[in-house]
Amino acid sequence: MTLDELIGEFDRGLRSMTGISRMSRPMPVPEAAMDHVEAELSPAERAHAAGLMRVNHVGEVCAQALYQAQKLATRSPSLKEAFDRAAREEEDHLAWTSRRLQALDARPSVLNPLWYAGALAIGLAAGRFGDRVSLGFMAETERQVEKHLDSHLSELPAADIESRAVVEQMRDDEAAHGKAATDAGGVELPFPARALMRAASKVMTRTAYYL
């Protein structure tokens, strides 16, 4: 990897942790956006929506670290490009969730540097087992994230259609990323690995909801 590439990866990581993210796609908008005025949420609804979107924002911080690590671990130029393309789409998610947090008068997780460092280490470890395992890890991650986003759609306040539009588009993108990883040769991870990933995700989501 060249010096310019290393600087670019460092810049991406720093932006991920500090919440300064660039969008290549505009914010998803509700279908009724033309006539819609953002609903006034109750304090409890606003706090719950903010907690859920903070969790989603942390997930996107972790996604940046995972894709960055897997890109560094592989020697395949085509996979490097695929991981980079997915990371750019995930960066849209990072920017979208950041904007929703601002709109809800909420802050990102104070533990973002910790989440990022942990995800980077996990991604590098997965990459050590070869491209097929790395792709399998990516596919399983995206499947679990897709289910997680489905649960958030059932929990978000009905009136918060702005957050729902963001989460729906994120879910569609995650499903596409997971399918792409499987189609590229990703292997199914053994049950203990999948269970460990779910357990780690629960710890992260429960903590990030508040912190």
Residue 114's CATH number: 1.20.1260.10
Helices and strands counted in the chain (H then E): 7, 0
pLDDT at position 165: 94
pLDDT at position 175: 92
Helix boundaries (H) for 104-160: 112-127, 131-155
**Measured distance CA(116)–CA(58) in Å, rounded:** 9
Length of the chain: 211
Q: What is the residue range of 63's domain?
A: 43-210
Give the predicted TM-score (pTM) of the model. 0.87
Residue 35 placed within a domain? no
* Ramachandran assignment for 130, one of left (phi > 0), alpha (psi -120 to 50 degrees), beta (any other): left
Residue 19 placed within a domain? no
Cβ-Cβ contacts under 8 Å for 29 (sequence gap 6 or more):
162, 165
The backbone torsions φ and ψ at residue 122, rounded to the nearest 5 degrees and listed phi first, read -65, -40
* Structure confidence at residue 6 as a pLDDT band (50, 70, 90): low
Domain count, the chain: 1
Residue 32 placed within a domain? no
**Measured distance CA(58)–CA(64) in Å, rounded:** 10
* Structure confidence at residue 93 as a pLDDT band (50, 70, 90): very high
Residue 118 placed within a domain? yes
